[in-house]
Amino acid sequence: MSPSLTLLGLLALTSVSSSYGKIYENASDIPSLDSYGYVIVGGGLTGSVVASRLTENSNTTVLVLEAGVSHQGVEIIEVPGLQSFTGPGTIYNWNYTSVPQVHLLNNTIPAPRGHVLGGSSSINGMWYTRGSSADYDRWANVTGDQGWLWDELQSYFKKSESLVAPVDGHNTTGQYDPALHGTQGPLQVTVGGFSQSLDQLVMGRLDQDFPFIEDYDNGEPIGFGWTQTTIGNGSRSSAATAYLDDYLNRTNLDVAVNSLAIRIFASNGSRIDTVTFTANGLPINVTARVEVLLAAGVFNTPHILLNSGIGDASELSAMNIPVVHNLPSVGKNLTEQPAISSLWNTSNPVSAAQAEVDYENAIAQWNSNRTGRMVLAISNTVGFARMNVSSPEVQALVEEYGELAPGPASPHFELLPTNAFDAETNFENAQFIFDSVNLVPYSRGSVTLNSANPLGPPLIDYNFYSAPQDILVMRQAVLGALSFISTPDWQDFLTAPASSLLAAVVDEYPNVSNATMDAYIRATTSISFHAVGSCSMSPAGADWGVVDPDFHVKGVAGLRVIDTSIMPFAPAGHSQAAAYVIAERAADIIKGST
């Protein structure tokens, strides 16, 4: 059976049951559309967390509207090793695409987000990395709210998390610091439960240039360490499995899937209280007696606000959308960390026939006891590094732009070594991928409406490399990856670059010309799946930004945004852990205001 046939077989198993707990697949089954205290738009990561926490109070009623389907019974979501099957082209993804990128040869780039309960936590790579302490301290300084300080947020990191043992039962001493982690939270986090030869190859490379770090969640994540992922008992731990599944028997929590929110408005007076959503193509209104909470994500939250007349007045008027509130920052400040996946051929290729056998055996083992290769998300190791300060180019960069990271212990880029065991893109050949990610992008993009169809997919512009310092950092990130694999052991493992553009860079290494390097960067840059910031926080009285530090949409009563679109800056790592902290803090702030 070929991988494509395997995928078709898996997709055949992913139909969702007609009912489970309090998940309504048909909006007509919702008991009442005017009885809820809170209506949460979006059943993704933050929406699931806040819904769960608010309904801990039996007097608080919540309706969650999710445009996608349920996650329950979907094997390609549950099995960590099948996460690539949830990508573009499936019903579990919004399948958005960017506009042509001016600085990337006019290439378009995917803009994936989860279209399923749990949102992107149900389809992502499951990385759990908090970033640096300076990331959150910068949030606090920018917003004027000391509650966003790293030290103040530690209780929320621990509240959400339960660090669990890997399924292979190996000795984890020295692979993480237990003091940094929670043990009672809903979200399960673990280190890799399946070892591979690549692990020792990475660890054998570490030295003073690439140091080992026991736990990169300590707030100063410089070095290579063992990956932490949101996996428990061999299965994906998403916001939906962690925060919804066990609580759907609450009489005060309802979840409606297949329910696409299109606008919000004030039904009586100036306070936002109503959400219009479509189900089976028909518009339906639901009213929130206390607040509407937008958790539709970095692309869809600004999309809903703009279609509701909340945004830049001149832009809205040009589209004949009645202006409810002039808030020019809506959809601006879109921030994504550009990434390059350098692909190499290796010295131990696997035949198509053997790869198929290995794959089927791994699936069978997972189905038998939730162990084996399929419990590994992507990689067991990851590194965070700063630019080479001895480089004249780096010195010139710092002289011109200053320190690009928020603190001296914050990384500039991420290095991610991965075996290309990927059933979707490269199943039949044993290849090696080394990702280089710019963690401190200064380019800012936007999310806007399509004038031809404002209710259709938004126009997403990452605007990569519009800030000149970003491509300079990416040069350093690619050079860092090449330096890492320059040792004899690595050269024995790798045979040749898998693309001519990478080969041209390697041929000139270590003195790669900017022309050769930039040709490679502009042709191969994609996303890291960490888009944030399109509805940024700012101080309560500031005339810029979209929400205040307590999540209220500025100048609008009855409405908050509670998702990752509020981040003023991306954390120096994967955005998932920070999203859980945002949601946990939002729930507490909302509870405290009632």
Q: Would you list which residues are annotated within the binding site? A: 116
Residues contacting 102, CB < 8 A, separation 6+: 463, 466
Active site residue 103: no
Catalytic residue among 115, 181, 530, 552: 530
Going by C-alpha positions, the residue among 158, 87, 155, 159 that lies closest to residue 123 is: 87
- What are the DSSP calls for 239-288, one per residue? HHHHHTGGGTT-TTEEEE-S-EEEEEE-SSSSB--EEEEEETTEEEEEEE
Contact 19, 246 (CB under 8 A): no
Q: Is 332 exposed, middle or buried, given 0-12, 13-18 or 19+ CB atoms closer than 10 A?
A: buried
Contact 71, 65 (CB under 8 A): no
Two structure tokens written together for 72:
């329950």
Residue appearing with tokens 């309904």: 55
- What are the DSSP calls for 502-532, one per residue? HHHHHHHTTS--HHHHHHHHHHH-B--S--B
Active site residue 530: yes
Q: What are phi and psi of 99, to 5 degrees?
A: -70, 165
Query: Residue 343's beta-bridge partner residues?
Result: 433
Instruction: Tell me the residue type at 17.
Output: S
- Tell me how far apart the alpha carbons of residues 54 and 584 are, in angstroms, rounded to a whole number: 10
Contact 331, 300 (CB under 8 A): no
Going by C-alpha positions, the residue among 269, 229, 277, 323 that lies closest to residue 27 is: 277
Contact 231, 242 (CB under 8 A): no
Contact 419, 347 (CB under 8 A): no
Please list the alpha-helical segments (H only) found in 312-351: 313-318
Report the alpha-carbon angle 432-575-408, nearest 5.
90
Binding residues for FAD are 116
**Dihedral-angle region of residue 545 (phi above 0 means left; psi in -120 to 50 means alpha; beta otherwise):** left
Q: What are phi and psi of 321, to 5 degrees?
A: -95, 120
Q: What are phi and psi of 406, to 5 degrees?
A: -75, -10
Q: Are strands 187-191 and 231-232 parallel, antiparallel or unpaired?
A: unpaired
Q: Cα–chain-centroid distance for residue 147?
A: 23
- Secondary structure E strands in 329-370: 339-346
- Tell me how far apart the alpha carbons of residues 338 and 436 are, in angstroms, rounded to a whole number: 9
- Active site residues per annotation: 530, 574
